[in-house]
Structures are given as C-alpha cells and as structure tokens.
Amino acid sequence: MKRFALGVAALVLTHAVLAESPSANDWKRSSLFVTGLADIDAQGNVQHIDLLPDEDKDSKALSEELAPLAKSTMSHWEFEPATENGKPAAGRTFLHGVFEFHEEGSSYKARLAFIGNGPQIYKPVAPRYPKSMIADGVQATLNMIVRVQPDGSITDIHLESAQSTRKRRVAEFVQAAMVAMKSWRAEPEMVDGHPASTWVRVPISFNLRDTVSGRRYAPELEQSIDSPAEPPASSTGDLALALDSRIKIRPQTP
C-alpha cells in the first residue's frame, strides 16, 4: 500500500496549480480542500495568507503535513485586482484550493490547485434531514445560490441545481436548506477597505450513514426531476465559491 511522502521536502513544491483537468498529466484530484484568508495588494499579489482550520477531522493529520505546501502555493498565486473608482485597489478574499497527487514509487507528490475564491460563509446550523427522505433512503446534493451582503447577511436564497437518489424530487431538501441558511452569516470580501456584495454558489449535501460503521452510503446521484438546471461538472466539496468576485485569479503557468 502506497503512502503519502512525509515532510514538505518529499513533496513537489509547485506553484503550477491550474491543471488542465482533474487528472491532467496523471495528477489525481483528491477530496482534500484548503481555504486561506488572503490580503491582496493593488498589483494583485498576495501580501499575507492565513490558512483556516480544517473542519474535516479525518484529514487533520494530512492537512498539517501539507499545510506548508498549501500556504506557500497560495502566496504565489497572482490576481487581477479589484478596481475602485476606476483604479486598482487592494482587497481581501478567501482562497480555495484542492490537493492533487501524483504517484511516484512508494509515495506521492502533491500540489495545490486553485478552484475559486469569495466570501466565507459560516454555518452554525446544519439543515435538518427530512424524515420522509430518511425513510426512503434518499440522498441529495444541492447547489444553492445566495447573495452575501456587505453586512454579512445572506439574501436571495434559491436553488440552482440538484442531484438525488433515483432522480427523486428535492423540494423537501431545498426547504430544509433554506430554513437553515436564513440563520447563516458570512464574512464578505473586502475591496479598498470596504465590504463587497457577492453572488455565491453554496453546495449542500444530504448524506446517509451506516449506523454501525458510520460510513456514508454512496449511491449514484442523478439530476433530480425538479432541478432547474444541470449540476456543475466538477465537485468543490462543500466550499462556497463566488460567482462574481471582483478579485479574479490570473492564469498560472507551470
């Protein structure tokens, strides 16, 4: 069984993070996501980056091992700065990346790929799983669209797309999500020292677990019959990504 290489020295310290595809050049995209709070100057350079604590306890050790690589990579990303009154302005945003791994001998090389940025949404209340859906063994993944206001409130909540078990309707899941999301708050992006309003896509998953092992069931999900649109092609885990951030990444080169 192959292991992850220990220590940053055994990893590939690369800033080439925009892979052509999740598995381009034999790099395999993982489900290990990283978020960092970045201060970006008026030239689009990252001046300071703080990694946010990893909420996924199962990957805590791996995250600690890879944290130096994540922080170094994020600090080298370059952005098109936001503008204020027609002039480039400094900004603050939350950067999101996902680790990709390349098999090499008995270990793996690692790199971090940029997947998006935007405000940070805090979720003190999780959506309640509809009892009728539990009884029927139905799981679902929703992509909700919300507007993060400058004061951190979340408004204009609506469903963008959905997948479910056996294409089942997701109306009950959507209702549960909306009830919870009304209590959520956000830390907005900042432009020239002022909070900005941003449209954000928020993935929400309803997963059932085996009562004995605690493992998630993983049936194939399909676009639900009441989904307004086809779901995005690639997964971003549970990360909320801005759709219209005023701070946009520049193309990165290997």
- Asked if residue 177 and residue 200 are part of one domain, the reply reads yes
Report the distance separating Cα 45 and Cα 221, nearest Å: 40
- Asked if residue 156 and residue 102 are part of one domain, the reply reads no
Report the pLDDT averaged over residues 22-48: 88
- Among 193, 236, 162, which Cα is nearest to 39's? 193
Report the share of the chain in percent with pLDDT over 70.
81
Classify residue 59 by its DSSP letter. Answer: G
Distance between first and last Cα of the chain: 30
Planar angle of CA 208, 201, 207, nearest 5 degrees: 0
Report the pLDDT averaged over residues 144-155: 98
Instruction: Name the average pLDDT for the chain.
Output: 85
Beta-carbon-side half-sphere exposure of residue 160 (alpha carbons within 13 Å): 17
- Asked if residue 220 and residue 168 are part of one domain, the reply reads yes
Which residue range is the domain that position 101 belongs to? 8-120+245-249
- Asked if residue 32 and residue 42 are part of one domain, the reply reads yes
pTM: 0.84
- Asked if residue 108 and residue 13 are part of one domain, the reply reads yes
Find all residues with CB under 8 Å of 14, minimum gap 6, and list them. 73, 111, 254
Q: Is residue 74 part of a domain?
A: yes
Neighbours of 249 (CB within 10 A): 18
pLDDT of residue 120: 97
- Asked if residue 90 and residue 28 are part of one domain, the reply reads yes
Q: Give the residues across from 49 on adjacent strands.
A: 38
Report the pLDDT averaged over residues 9-30: 51
Q: How many domains does the chain have?
A: 2
What are the tens digits of pLDDT across the range 67-110? 999 999 999 999 999 999 999 999 999 999 999 998 888 788 99
CATH code for the domain of 135: 3.30.2420.10
- Asked if residue 149 and residue 48 are part of one domain, the reply reads no
